Amino acid sequence: MDSQEFRAAAATTTDDIVNYFDNLGSRDVVSSVRPGYLRTLLPGEAPQEGEPWEDIHKDIEAKIMPGITHWSHPNFHAFFPCATSYPSILADLYSSALSGACFNWICSPAVTELETIVLDWLAKMLGLPACYLSTGPTRGGGVIQGSASEAVLTAMVAARDKYLRETTKIPIRSSELSDEDAEALAIKRSRMVALATTATHSSARKAALILGVRFKAIPVRAEDGYALTKPVLAAALAECRAKGLEPFFLVATLGTTDTCAVDDFAGISAALEEDPDAALAESESGIAKGEIWVHVDAAYAGAALVCPEVQEATGLAGPLARFHSFDVNMHKWLLVNFDASCLYVRDRDWLVQALSVNQAVYGKKPLVDADGNDVPDYREWQIPLGRRFRSLKIWFVLRSYGVRALQAYIRRTMRLGEEFAGWVKGRPDLFEVLTGPSFALTVFRMAERSQGQSLEERNALTKALYERVNATGKLWLTSTELDGKLAIRLMTAVRTTERAHVKAAFKTLVEVATEVIRE
């Protein structure tokens, strides 16, 4: 494809994209193809000779679109949203054109510097404590990761090494450990346990699996709104220590996946400060107490912190100044295309000490800017080496919308959630709200039909409602299970969703629920 052909093809692509968004509501939300549909449509081998753009272009609508589930559809109420916006799409075009494996400053100074600047902007917008700024007092800062799963894994690696450094005298990064040290390290590592809750996203368990450390999910309770509380954490810590285990990492969540619960950050902070067994460990070993690293997973709901009233309500800022890392996916609820997971740490050296393997090869001292701040070497803050120019789309989105429009979008979609929950509560003959509305998410199930109705019968009714509504293809919901109760999640945070769409979704739910009961 030469320049002229690209210019023409890009024009048709732009038209397609605009038409796609303008007419999105007329498509079914969920793809209805069967597994393997594409294999029957495409040849088994790549073409020997290049094909004209016109042929390739035709196949987008004919072969690809049928297999697309539309995450920006106004009737997409499943999972959490996956954002997109025109400014973000434009930035991705530039990023593709400027393609490079920009792992350090000289590989493209703008890539590193823009990332530092926009992540500082975002930290300020979200009201994060100053220690998470690149110029903050503790040498903290943010880095863009591909996903919240990658972020929790990265934080857990750093936490593991920090804990080992604090609680042993073993030179853990040495390639020539004595047999004695190697054995002591193996024993120590076998006792270390990463903590989360039964409501934490599965990425925490996966990170522990990858790192080969123990994992414990602390059960959360309906009476606590499925959030982690101080007494529950204190009991879990005591239980670990009674078994000779050493907790070194905890995932606290702002907006759990099932119900958007918010863990009690102040309670967590207090439980860790008052943890008597950790102090005991310190006096017994004569080595400094190993801190439990707290990672705040705010993958979805963290976006709502752009609103000052949410910062206030969650009470995160105070405890976060004592925690260690925080992650939010701008690609969920902040209009930036997938992928833009923004991971912040209170001290960048925690990441560098765990992840740097390049010093011998590249052997450079950190670069310092005119103000004396060292320039991040982002390859040391992440698992891969190479990195795309992802900060560009954050920059385009923040500049195109401005903070006010982002706040308005978050508030508007949360209000839609409140309205929806109000309508559901207004039909106690049909539905029961189990949690929410919380951050534009309501979790509900079918109402009890008769006294003494069994859990199985009620779950069966909820399942019938859920499956029939989804089978219409007109809207998409996801389900969850809370203490054995099957429940339906309805989220109203997609950019294109308006009140009329939520109202229509509610109407469909009422009709189908009535039909299910009648039968």
Phi-psi region of 104 (alpha: psi -120 to 50; beta: other; left: phi over 0): beta
Burial class, 243, CB count within 10 angstroms (exposed 0-12 / middle 13-18 / buried 19+): exposed
Candidates 76, 249, 300, 444: give the one binding ligand PLP (CB under 6 A). 300
Q: Per 3-state DSSP, what percentage of the chain is helix, strand, and coil (rounded to 5)?
A: 50, 15, 35
Between residue 46 and residue 85, which ones bind ligand PLP under the rule CB under 6 A?
80
Burial class, 500, CB count within 10 angstroms (exposed 0-12 / middle 13-18 / buried 19+): exposed
CB of 81 to ligand PLP, least distance (A): 10
Burial class, 408, CB count within 10 angstroms (exposed 0-12 / middle 13-18 / buried 19+): middle
CB of 152 to ligand PLP, least distance (A): 7
Residues 6+ apart with CB under 8 A from 514: 430
State which residue, 112 or 256, has the beta carbon closest to ligand PLP. 256
Between residue 148 and residue 167, which ones bind ligand PLP under the rule CB under 6 A?
148-149
Interface with ligand PLP includes 215 (CB under 6 A)? no
Q: What's CA 113's distance to the chain center, in Å?
A: 24
Query: Backbone phi, then psi, for 400, in 5-degree steps?
Result: -70, -40
Interface with ligand PLP includes 253 (CB under 6 A)? yes
Q: Check: CB of residue 474 under 8 Å from CB of residue 29.
A: yes
Output the six-digit token pair for 477: 């919901």
Candidates 299, 335, 440, 475: give the one binding ligand PLP (CB under 6 A). 299
- Given the rule CB under 6 A, which of 102-110, 183-191, 250-258, 282-290 is the region that contacts ligand PLP? 250-258
Candidates 201, 295, 346, 501: give the one binding ligand PLP (CB under 6 A). 201
- Given the rule CB under 6 A, which of 40-48, 293-301, 426-434, 494-502 is the region that contacts ligand PLP? 293-301
Interface with ligand PLP includes 132 (CB under 6 A)? no
Which residue from 468, 469, 477 is spatially nearest to 442, judged by alpha carbons? 477
String marking each residue 318-337 x if it binds ligand PLP according to CB under 6 A = -----------x--------
Interface with ligand PLP includes 203 (CB under 6 A)? yes
Transcribe 31-66 into DSSP letters: --PPTTTTTTTS-SS--SSPPPHHHHHHHIIIIIGG
CB of 257 to ligand PLP, least distance (A): 4
Interface with ligand PLP includes 341 (CB under 6 A)? yes
State which residue, 251 or 461, has the beta carbon closest to ligand PLP. 251
CB of 85 to ligand PLP, least distance (A): 18
Which residue from 302, 316, 325 is spatially nearest to 410, judged by alpha carbons? 302
State which residue, 159 or 234, has the beta carbon closest to ligand PLP. 159
Distance CA 451, CA 439 (A): 33
Candidates 92, 161, 263, 297: give the one binding ligand PLP (CB under 6 A). 297
Interface with ligand PLP includes 147 (CB under 6 A)? yes
Output the six-digit token pair for 330: 């701008």
- Given the rule CB under 6 A, which of 136-144, 217-225, 248-256, 381-389 is the region that contacts ligand PLP? 248-256
Amino acid, single-letter form, for residue 267: G
How many residues line the site for ligand PLP (CB under 6 A)? Answer: 15
Transcribe 303-315 into DSSP letters: GGGGSHHHHHHHT
Output the six-digit token pair for 120: 């500082």
CB of 441 to ligand PLP, least distance (A): 10
String marking each residue 95-124 x if it binds ligand PLP according to CB under 6 A = ------------------------------
CB of 304 to ligand PLP, least distance (A): 13
DSSP 3-state of 118: helix
Interface with ligand PLP includes 407 (CB under 6 A)? no
Candidates 257, 325, 391, 497: give the one binding ligand PLP (CB under 6 A). 257
State which residue, 255 or 376, has the beta carbon closest to ligand PLP. 255
The site for ligand PLP (CB under 6 A) is made up of 80, 147-149, 201, 203, 253, 255-257, 297, 299-300, 329, 341
